[in-house]
């Protein structure tokens, strides 16, 4: 099924489901309690987002401090943000989705499913500063500007230690000042 059709279905089905549930719940408990329940779920979502989000940030920091990539925590973080968004959207169906995503074992199951079925692609957005093997070289001794010219190889040409004159972003006129 094309992505555009899925998005269109969500824009049509989601509000329809929410309207139906508002009518049903409102007819059982009344209009004012229905509105208060919606506001309470948004407040609960904000609180849960804050609590679990801060906990997750501390776990991510611990992973990074130990030299590991916090990919597992990043997946949980994305789902927690999505859960908070679902709870902020008025409606009982989105609230149910949001509350379910705040349950860690359910997030684990969804994360494992996504890891098996979603293809992640690495984009090389700045190929000028990467080695041929794909690693980034930030060693100052080996780094060179992408504007390397034959004049740069001339040993008789005076070199300057002024950072403004050796910057790869300055123009040639700036270097001759």
pLDDT tens per residue, range 66-119: 888 888 888 888 898 899 888 888 889 999 999 899 898 999 999 889 888 877
Give a yes or no: residue 95 inside a domain: yes
Give a yes or no: residue 138 inside a domain: no
Give a yes or no: residue 81 inside a domain: yes
- Considering only 80-84, 116-120, 127-131, 153-157, which range has the smallest mean pLDDT? 127-131
Please tell me the predicted confidence (pLDDT) of residue 105.
92
Query: Over 60: is that where the pLDDT of 167 sits?
Result: no
Query: Over 70: is that where the pLDDT of 159 sits?
Result: no
Q: Which residue has the higher pLDDT, 152 or 87?
A: 87
Give a yes or no: residue 10 inside a domain: yes
Give a yes or no: residue 38 inside a domain: yes
Give a yes or no: residue 124 inside a domain: no
Reported as a pLDDT band with limits 50, 70 and 90, residue 34 is very high
Q: What is the DSSP string of the chain?
A: --HHHHHHHHHHHHHHHHHHHHHHHHHHH-HHHHHHHHHHHHHHHHHHHHHHHHHHHHHHHHHHHTT---HHHHHHHHHHHHHHHHHHSSSHHHHHHHHHHTSHHHHHHHHHHHHHH-------S-GGGB-TTS-B---TTT---TT--GGGG-TTS-----HHHH-TTS-HHHHT-
Reported as a pLDDT band with limits 50, 70 and 90, residue 43 is confident
Please tell me the predicted confidence (pLDDT) of residue 20.
94
Q: Which domain holds residue 57?
A: 3-117
Give a yes or no: residue 106 inside a domain: yes
Give a yes or no: residue 145 inside a domain: no
Structural domains in the chain (count): 1
Please tell me the predicted confidence (pLDDT) of residue 75.
87
């Amino acid at each position: 099924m094309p992505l555009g059709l899925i998005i269109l279905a969500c824009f049509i089905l989601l509000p329809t489901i929410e309207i139906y549930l508002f009518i049903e719940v409102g007819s059982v408990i009344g209009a004012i309690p229905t509105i208060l329940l919606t506001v309470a779920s948004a407040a609960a979502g904000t609180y849960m987002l804050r609590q679990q989000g801060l906990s997750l940030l501390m776990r991510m920091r611990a992973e990074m401090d130990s030299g590991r990539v916090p990919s597992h925590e990043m997946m949980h973080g994305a789902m927690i943000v999505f859960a908070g968004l679902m709870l902020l959207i008025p409606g009982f169906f989105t609230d149910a989705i949001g509350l379910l995503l705040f349950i860690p074992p359910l997030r684990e199951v969804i994360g494992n499913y996504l890891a098996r079925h979603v293809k992640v692609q690495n984009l090389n957005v700045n190929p000028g500063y990467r080695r041929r093997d794909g690693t980034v070289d930030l060693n100052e001794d080996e780094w060179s500007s992408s504007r390397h010219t034959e004049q740069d190889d001339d040993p008789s040409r005076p070199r300057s230690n002024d950072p403004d004159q050796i910057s790869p972003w300055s123009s040639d006129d700036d270097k001759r000042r």
